[in-house]
Structure 1
């Protein structure tokens, strides 16, 4: 296996573990965790939001550390942090300790992405970087898709599932040490870049998309239980559908090259809103809700690929920081969106919360991805 292919495979696995297992699997298991520990929708939303907040802090640190230390060290730490956080979730005896473990696990995702962008910039030729980056980014979907069958195999035992996830994360840490380049990025970290017009538009669009996505990432299992009476099996099927659909996001780089950032951005925001409504409105039959989950997964991963490319083109000489801006803002939107959705759900029900968050996704499409920095798109 060539070094570039080994890098891509390892990066795909790292993103699958950190995003699919350590971050997003919590939403799938939330109904079971709620039943065991008595969280309630408001506290569940706060815990999800705190996990996203930890991501925000971690991705800022990761971009700076990657520029200072190089990608191998930071990516390895990401896998180890994911393992520790998920082990803590498996062992948590109370809501307070669960919240702490979820925060640790969620921070691993912030650590993971910037070093992978830097590693691709160092090891992959320029014409293939967009495709490689978006393929690695689609690891999120593989992790989410796998978490569903694992949950079914565990017969709904969420503690056993997170223990298994922690073991896999430890194995990925070893692979990361072997596959990623250790070279330093460019000396001392250079701080945050100037807010150009293109970066400001990226921040606005990714914030709205991130907030909208929490309707399913944080509450998809809860919504399935409310509308369809789904237990662990139904929720695992939804998560598998979301993950399977998201594998389409690996093609984001090629679609952007062919149709441009603006067209792909707007099209998949419409699909995201459609998926949120299909799963969360309660009016669709269960099979249609699963199809909506697949649609949401495809849209989410495709859009994160769009924001990844947008950031890298805005800051071509600082790949870790370029990726960080869009992904950080997605997480800030999720940090604010998860507790807000929980409050709306608790106070007014899904009939108000779900359409409101679908509208947030559509609003992101009003932000254009135009500018000289993005002329190539």
Structure 2
């Protein structure tokens, strides 16, 4: 019994130290993480992938063969950081920015010299949608190398992209509109029209792609038509992918330690796995949370995979108190659908 308990605790500590709960996080395997997107690129034998914690990497990466993904950053890029990203694009790099409502991405786009902007209002479509108007299907796809094999994007609380002269890659049907809330109904004054949701433009010797929905990268939406194919096309012609995490939440301790070891071979030779142990041990809060989660699970016997929709809804309300009920319901539906697809594989 004690051996089983100890094993369960160790497993829980390892999971807590090696995974993340951050939205869009590459080490988050839950519905709102992008672990599946990261995994797909890591297993692609045609490209190398890196997690970038500092914009200095933009200065050393070979720009012509590199695509950098910036997904809904939480902090503004300072002048020095934005300048590094800008030089990367000027020298031939591809920058893909996915954003719906945050201002930080638009600031970065301005700093690197791009013209397109994320509009910031909720994109709705009463005619062409999946599970509700806030989940539009954008099937107006331009014939372009960046959309080869793509017939639509499946969106989830997206915004439109204001091209301002950039080339439109994907747009909605003719009955989409922008609103302050996902529950807003169109009226006589509502401007119904096709809305761009993805653009591309030349900046210097490079290109900037802007997508009005970061959720196409998350696990619940990645396999929806044709989100994975579109994301793959953005780096398919290159040799390297950078996941820019420099202005988001920090990596989980174990992942951070492993990345540090890879970046510093001398340190790896000197301390080896001792660095991993030290970093994990220093992450007291994460480890306590992991131990508490394991202890609670052992006490209650709960399994997250067996939660009912009502229990999932309650968890979402606690985690995202600002979300509307319609978004919670649609997210649960998307999560169930994604899990069902994986079980069928």
TM-score by length of 1: 0.25
Would you tell me which structure has more helix in proportion to its own residues? 1
Structure with the larger RCO, 1 or 2 (CA within 8 Å, 6+ apart): 1
TM-score by length of 2: 0.26
Between Structure 1 and Structure 2, whose CA radius of gyration is higher? 2
